[in-house]
Structure formats: C-alpha cells, structure tokens
Amino acid sequence: MINLKDVGLNFIILSPFIFHMEFIALFIAIFTYLMIALRSITKIPPWASMFFGGVLMIVTGVISVDQAYSSINLDVIIFLITIFTFSSALEISGFLRYLAYKLVMKYRQPRKIIFFILLYSGLLSNLVTNDGVASSWTPVMLEASKAMNMDELPFLYTLAFGVTIGSVMMPTGNPQNLLILLEAHVPFLIFIGILIVPTFVNLILSYLVIVFLFKDKLKNVVIDDIEPVEIKDRRLAYQSLLLLIITVLLFLALSALRIDIVLGSLVTSSILLFMSKERRNIIQRIDWSTILFFIGLFIFTEGLFQGGVINLLYRFIPPPTDVLTIMVSSIALSQVLSNVPLVAIYIPEMQQLGVASIINWLALAAGSTIAGNFTILGAASNVIISEASEIRGGKSFNFFEFMKYATPVLLVNFTVLYLFISLAGTALIQLLAASR
C-alpha cells in the first residue's frame, strides 16, 4: 500500500525541482491573501481560503505531510474547542440572548451601548481571553442589533476592537501575553501595573474614534421597550456559567504554577458535556469553520518558514532592538504569521540580540496584540467574530473595509502605548520594584 508520507503529492503539480521553493511558497502566500482580500467578489470565506492555502503548501512539496502535522499547535486547537463549547452552551441555553436584552434595556441608546460593549469586552477578555469573549459575545451583538433594528457591523467592530485593546493589559488576556509571561519571566504585577493605564486610555479614545467612524450607522434613537427575553434552559445556563467561572480561576492558578492553562478548560468543558443533556446540540453548534481556519493557518505558516518567505520579509522589516522597532515589526509580521507564532519566534531572537528587558517584552506584548486592529488576519479574535456572525446569518468582515475602520483605531492605540511604554515604563518599573 502506498504511503503518502513517503511518496508525497508532488505529482499533482509541476515538480519543485523546476521552480525554486521560495517562489512556490511566495506564490501560494500571495494567492491565499488575495483570496481572503477579495472575499466579497469570490464569496469564499477566509477559513476555506486559508485551509486551501495550507493544503497547497503540502501538495506542492514546500513542506512534507509530517511537517504539516507537527506544525499544528494542539494547545491552541484544543483551547479554542473548549472555549467554543462554553459559548455554544450559553447560546443554546438562551443566556446570550437574555444578556443582549439586558444590555439594550439598560443603556437603550446606541452610543451608550457601543461604549459599554467596548469596556465590558475589553475587561472580560482578561478573564476568559480575547478569543473566548469574541466567541461568546458575537451572538449577543447580533441579538442586540436585531432588537434595536440596526446594522450589526458597528457592534461587531466594537467587539473586535474591544477584545484586542482590553487584552493588552494582563498576561491572561491572550495567548501571546501568556507566552511572554511564562517564557520571558515578566512579573505579573509589573505587566499589569505598566499596561493598565494606557489600556484604559485607549478604550476611551477608541470609543470616540468608533463613534466618529460609524456616525452614519448609529441612529440617534432611544429604545423604549422590546419584547422581554427569558433564559430558555436555566439549568444549562447555570452549569455553563459556574464551570466557566471555575475555568477562569483555573487559568489564573495554572498560569501561576506554570502549568498549561488548556488543562483547565479541557477539564471543565468535558464536565459540561458529561453532565448536560444538550451535549449533542452543544457540539454541533461549535464554530468548526474557525477551527479549520487555524489548522490551515498553522500549516500555511510552516510553509512560509520552510519556503523562505519569512526570511524574505526580514530583509524589509527592522530587527526588534528597541520599543519602536519591536512594536512596528510585531504589528507588521502578525499580519502574516498571526501574533502567537510571531511572539514564539521573537522571544528567542530578542534574547539572542541581547535586548531582553522588561520594557521590550511589554512592547512585544503591546505590538503583537494591537496588531489585531489592522487587518482581519492580525488577531484570531477577528476571524472568530466574523465567522461566528456569518454562520448565524449576520454580516462578516470585509478585508479592506476592516482596514478602513481599524487603521485609525490602531494609530491611536500605537501612539498611546508607545509613548507610555517608552517614556513612563522605566520609571514605573523602578517604582513597582521598589514597592515589592
């Protein structure tokens, strides 16, 4: 029997001996990003384009099947599945629709709702990570916009910006921050102590930018009353919320003990599926298209490495040696690699360059995170929100439209974080260190 791992699939296209691997990998990269950018024309969703791009890296011989398998980060995949399990259960129980109803009825005016979506999603992202909030709050955004008879895009963009901006300030806000905490050994309190102020400043300033950008879509209306919404399955809602709270506590405990935090959500999500009678519905409602996107992304990124595309990009991007170059290069490369792989590469590189200071680690955390406010590919949470909306009948993010709305927000975020880290960071580190 023929073993595909030994033989490969290179017979499908022209042999790589004819064309240099760099050109093949570069061609696949350009083709994949074009498919994502032209999604409004091709009607092919980003997850399908990225998955296809990853497969092309294999069949053209840029990487082997073994390299493709080993490139898939199971920690990330399992983490997403477990977090999606909770958001699926909360949606099935009716809790998320109930939450949307409460949000609309409490604040009533679109601009107020935008502000509190930005604030709440930003703060919650530090407890359940930005990906977790992106997954669980997208249905809330759709229900809230439906209740107000408004376009859902301002709410979806606000959620995307909120989880990105808010997750900067704590190591538990996103996977790349946690990686910096564990691998670079940045003290937890110093991490928060320096990044909390610019994070809140960015949330406030970004609100003003969002209101300006969407002024034509934010109707000046007050919601008088809408039909009351109740939780359909209280038992499932309470089980999910209790286990989610336990998950957050486990994240904090495991990160302090330097144990893989995925173990926490793996245990609690399995308990939920074991206990709930809706287990089959929960599994069916998980956003599997986003899981496929990430599998494709890992394989695709490995192809970029093995094909020499990343080395090619390094020629045009300054080395990460100070706050400015670290932030600029991490924002740029995160659009190609995604932020978690970028940070995994930059940690040993910065150590080798001899620039492994706390200030520079915080610059890496800030830059790689706010990279999500540039293109839809800059952060996983953007893809999660877009896909979660589309599978529920809502609108998705357009590549160029996302850049149009996100770039002003990114410029504000970058300016605030750069000035604060470079000017006030050193003094605050000394102050915090002296107080310990």
Per-residue pLDDT tens digits for 25-37: 999 999 998 998 8
Diameter over CA atoms, the chain:
70
> d(Cα 47, Cα 234) in Å, to the nearest integer?
34
At residue 317, does pLDDT exceed 90?
no
Full 3-state SS string of 21-87: HHHHHHHHHHHHHHHHHCHHHHCCCHHHHHHHHHHHHHHCCCCCHHHHHHHCCHHHHHHHHHHHHHH
**pTM of the prediction?**
0.82
Could you state, in order of their start, the residue ranges of all structural domains in the chain? 18-435
Burial of 166 (0-12, 13-18, 19+ CB in 10 A): buried
Per-residue DSSP letter, 333: H
What is the spatial distance between Cα 281 and Cα 195, in angstroms, rounded to a whole number?
40
Count of Cβ atoms closer than 10 Å to residue 351 Cβ: 12
Highest mean pLDDT among 41-45, 93-97, 119-123, 278-282: 278-282
8, pLDDT greater than 60: no
Instruction: Please tell me which residue, 12 or 190, carries the higher pLDDT value.
Output: 190
Phi, psi torsion values for 51, nearest 5 degrees: -65, -40
Residue 416: how many other CB atoms lie within 10 Å: 22
Backbone angles phi, psi at 374, to 5 degrees: -130, -65
Q: What is the pLDDT of residue 226?
A: 64
Q: What is the pLDDT of residue 208?
A: 97
Tell me: the pLDDT tens digits for 115-145? 999 998 898 888 777 887 888 889 888 888 8
